Every structure is written in structure tokens, then in C-alpha cells.
């Protein structure tokens, strides 16, 4: 299974959450959306363990099973469709999570996140 990690699940992984560790260990490939990477690094800079957290992240990213996912022109089309869907449903979600959703749809991934607002997207499979 190919999964995309949301910020909260990466944090769960770093905290040693058993269920999160099991899901990540079973994954064939792990994708870290650029938004997740930005949110993590913003959190690092606001915390007291910035250098340690960055080292842990760098080690995680060095795994051959882990890749960073960046947006491209095609991503913007998925973003626009999801945005319209949310507007029609009257169920807005944070913009960063909308970008994550667009990348998940574009790359046909399973989303590993705790945020319930992703439930507004039946087309996004979740762990």
C-alpha cells in the first residue's frame, strides 16, 4: 500500500504510537506531502527541540521508501475540483489539508491522517 502522511500521523510516529508504527512499517511506499513537510518544519522552529526534530525528519526522509510529494499543474486541477466539492457541500476544511487531499487524489494514495474533516471526501481512501 502507498500512503501519504498527514502532519499528525508523522508526530504519532515520532512519539512511538504502536498503531501508527505498524501502518508505516506495512506500507510499501510513504509519501510526505510538501505541506506536511512545511507544517512540521514550522512546528520545529517554534519548539525547543528544533535541531533534534530536524535530524529525525532528515533520517526519516532518507529511507528509500519515503518521498516528498510536490504540487504541479495537475495538482491544481485536483485542488480546484475538491474545493468546488467542499463549497457545494458547505464543508470547508483548512487550505493545507485541501492541498494534501489534492495530492492524494492525484497520486492514487491512501491518506493516513487523524483529521475528521477528510471524511468530507469519499473519494479519498483513509487508513
Domains of the chain in start order, with CATH, are 2-120 (3.40.50.1010)
**Mean pLDDT of the region 29-46:** 96
Inter-CA distances, 63 with 25, 31, 58, Å: 12, 11, 9
- β-bridge partners, 112: 5
pLDDT of residue 92: 86
**Mean pLDDT, the chain, as a whole number?**
95
Looking at residue 50, its pLDDT comes to 86
pLDDT category of residue 39 using cuts at 50, 70 and 90: very high
List, edge to edge, every strand of the sheet that includes 110-112: 66-69, 29-33, 2-5, 110-112
pLDDT exceeds cutoff 90 at 47: no
Helix (H) or strand (E) holding 2: strand 2-5
**CA of 91: how far to CAs of 11, 51, 112, 113, in Å?**
26, 37, 20, 18
Is 106's pLDDT higher than 90? yes
**pLDDT confidence tier of residue 72, bands split at 50, 70 and 90:** very high
What is the spatial distance between Cα 34 and Cα 18, in angstroms, rounded to a whole number?
A: 25
Question: Model confidence at 117, in pLDDT bands (50, 70, 90)?
Answer: confident
Using a pLDDT cut of 90, give the percent of the chain over it.
84
Helix (H, G, I), strand (E, B), or coil: what is residue 121?
Answer: coil
pTM of the model: 0.93
Q: Helix or strand or coil: residue 22?
A: helix
Three cell numbers, residue 55? 535530524
Amino acid at each position: 500500500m502507498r500512503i501519504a502522511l498527514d502532519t499528525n500521523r508523522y508526530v504519532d510516529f515520532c512519539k512511538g504510537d504502536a498503531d501508527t508504527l505498524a501502518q508505516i512499517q506495512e506500507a510499501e511506499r510513504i509519501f510526505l506531502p510538501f505541506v506536511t513537510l512545511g507544517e512540521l518544519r514550522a512546528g520545529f522552529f517554534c519548539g525547543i527541540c528544533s535541531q533534534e526534530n530536524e535530524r529525525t525528519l532528515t533520517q526519516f526522509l532518507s529511507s528509500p521508501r519515503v518521498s516528498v510529494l510536490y504540487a504541479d499543474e495537475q495538482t491544481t486541477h485536483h485542488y480546484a475540483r475538491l474545493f468546488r466539492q467542499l463549497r457545494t457541500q458547505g464543508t470547508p476544511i483548512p487550505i493545507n489539508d485541501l492541498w494534501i487531499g489534492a495530492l492524494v487524489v492525484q497520486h492514487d494514495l491512501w491518506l493516513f491522517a487523524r483529521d475528521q474533516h477528510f471524511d468530507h471526501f469519499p473519494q479519498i481512501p483513509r487508513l
